[in-house]
Amino acid sequence: MQPAVVQLHNVSVQLGPVLALSDVHLTINPGERVAFVGANGSGKSTLLRTLHGLLRPTQGQVQLHPTCRQAMLFQRSHVLRLSALHNVALGIWLDRAQGHSWAQSRARAVTALQRVGLSAVAQQSGRQLSSGQQQRLALARAWGRQPDVLLLDEPTASLDPYAKREVEALMAAFADQAETTATLLWASHNLGQVKRLASRVIYLEAGHILADLPVADFFNAQLLETTSPAAHAFVQGELS
Ligand SMILES: Nc1ncnc2c1ncn2[C@@H]1O[C@H](COP(=O)(O)OP(=O)(O)OP(=O)(O)O)[C@@H](O)[C@H]1O
Ligand SMILES: [Mg+2]
């Protein structure tokens, strides 16, 4: 069996007065597509940031695979006042672990923009793109770094249905390119999307993991009601 891409052991994260994560145990294996769901403030973003190594736990340990490359797309993506092409190229070039020259970074950026369907606007300012295009740009920037693990924080939250489907298709394409090794971790309020894309669903409430199930079990209402009444109530609330 391949080693885990990331593991959390007894992890708690205190942010100011808030215990945003509380005693979390979690193992993410290569090839998994894990969706994090839960109400606003339940700790999804905090968990993603912790898994990405951005937040240091107040207690417990984060064990990152030494050679797995991660890239994260944040809840609010920062598009720079540069062309779309330079936004992506800079992201790749600044990833010093890869050590690409500017010319190599630029060439990879061209490919990444092509992949997300933004070649036609490569020379336009990133800031002038629509929000759907900006989200695809952020995805190109993350994917262009050729990560093994892609973390996305509500990647389709503010998009119209068409743009949502486009970004969703790109997430699936990332996961499908190397089915057994590409790992997708994302936070979502969109249960339809979770059903379509996830292999495993983790439900959070007030910083606790209250359900961690294969996708089919999570959406089996009868089963969920017995294994995790809190998650069941959440799903019913979201679906109603
Ligand atoms: N920088 C911070 N300082 C203090 N508290 C914070 C900080 N960031 C987050 N929190 C708190 O930590 C808890 C978890 O927040 P988090 O952003 O992880 O939730 P979330 O599940 O991503 O919510 P949403 O669905 O709204 O994005 C919340 O109570 C939030 O108010
Ligand atoms: Mg969040």
pLDDT digits (tens, 9 = 90+) for 171-208: 999 999 887 889 999 999 999 999 999 999 999 999 99
Query: What's the CATH superfamily of 1-68+148-161+168-213?
Result: P-loop containing nucleotide triphosphate hydrolases (3.40.50.300)
Q: 12, 13, 18, 151: which to mutate for ligand 1, most atoms within 8 A of CB?
A: 18
Q: What pLDDT, on the 0 to 100 scale, is given for residue 38?
A: 97
Q: What pLDDT, on the 0 to 100 scale, is given for residue 178?
A: 81
Residue whose CA is at the smallest distance from ligand 1 atom 7: 15
Residue whose CA is at the smallest distance from ligand 1 atom 27: 40
Q: What are the extents of the domains in the chain?
A: 1-68+148-161+168-213, 78-147
Measure 105 CA to ligand 2 centroid, in angstroms: 30
Taking CB atoms and a 6 Å cutoff, what residues make up the pocket around ligand 1? 15-16, 18, 20, 38, 40-46, 75
pLDDT band at 1 (very low <50, low <70, confident <90, very high): low
Measure 114 CA to ligand 2 centroid, in angstroms: 29
Three-class DSSP category at 70:
strand
Buried b (16+ CB within 10 A) or exposed e, 132-168: bbbbbbbbbbbbbbebbbbbbbbbbeebeeebbebbb
Q: Which ligand is nearest to the CA of 54?
A: 1
Tell me the DSSP string of 133-148. HHHHHHHHHHHTT--S
Measure 120 CA to ligand 2 centroid, in angstroms: 32
pLDDT digits (tens, 9 = 90+) for 114-139: 999 999 999 999 999 998 899 899 99
Residue whose CA is at the smallest distance from ligand 1 atom 6: 15
Q: Which atom of ligand 1 is nearest to the CA of 154?
A: 27
Check whether 94 has a pLDDT greater than 80.
yes
Q: 11, 12, 14, 15: which to mutate for ligand 1, most atoms within 8 A of CB?
A: 15
Return mean pLDDT, the chain.
Answer: 93
Average pLDDT over residues 13-36: 97
Measure 64 CA to ligand 1 centroid, in angstroms: 23
Average pLDDT over residues 207-231: 96
- Contact status, residue 82 vs residue 125, Cβ threshold 8 Å: yes
Check whether 78 has a pLDDT greater than 90.
no
Q: Which ligand is nearest to the CA of 24?
A: 1
Residues 6 or more apart whose Cβ sits within 8 Å of residue 52: 70, 72, 151
Residue whose CA is at the smallest distance from ligand 1 atom 17: 45
Residue whose CA is at the smallest distance from ligand 1 atom 30: 41
Where are the extended beta strands (E) located within the chain?
6-15, 18-28, 33-37, 59-64, 70-73, 149-153, 183-187, 200-205, 208-214
C-alpha–C-alpha distance, residues 215 and 205, integer Å: 18
